Amino acid sequence: MKYFLKYNLIFLVIFHASYLIAAQTNFPTVAKPFEAYNFTVRDIDGTEYRLSDYRGKVVVLNFWATWCPPCREEMPAMNRAHKKLSKDNVVILAINVGEDEDTIFEFTGNYPVDFPLLMDKEGKVIKRYPVMGLPTTYIISPTGIVTHRTVGGREWDNNQLLNELRAMQKK
């Protein structure tokens, strides 16, 4: 009985903590906003993407990996957010850290997405952003300034978060 109670308590604490993280409905600002590093990377099909191509839009820049449980958990919500924000000049770019095309392609079989999944195989882009864990997401203003950072998964299709992103576009 002790073990049953102990493991149930541990489960409840973990479940509650993950719920609180996912339920966060704001984007913490960075202490010192900085100019976003203008990278050029490719997706799994070889298409090239430049951050500078999105100047004038809010960019949600997500660093992730296929082996990361919170990254996998937030992908469906991020895809729903992408669909809801596509007409609002808000762009989602997800940069995979250190994995190859085949690994990412296999991942998309279980987690299909409609926004670009980009590759940072050598870690050149992630070195320019202070990422402390995965997933880490930066919000880049239409003028190219990094203004917000979140660490951990989010329910990206939460209406409050969507409205906050839309409001950033209008500033």
The residue ranges of every structural domain in the chain are 25-170
Sign of torsion, CA 63 120 61 125?
A: positive
pTM for the full model?
Answer: 0.85
- Helix, strand or coil for residue 44? coil
The topology under which CATH files domain 25-170 is Glutaredoxin (3.40.30)
pLDDT digits (tens, 9 = 90+) for 95-142: 999 999 999 999 999 999 999 999 999 999 999 998 999 999 999 999
- Residue 171's pLDDT is 79
- Residue 57's pLDDT is 97
**Regions of the chain with pLDDT less than 70:** 1-25
Taking CB atoms within 8 Å and a gap of at least 24, the contacts of 76-80 are 76/111, 77/154, 77/155, 77/156, 77/157, 77/158, 78/113, 78/115, 78/156, 78/157, 79/112, 79/113, 79/114, 79/115, 80/156, 80/157
- Residue 5's pLDDT is 35
- Residue 41's pLDDT is 98
- Residue 24's pLDDT is 55
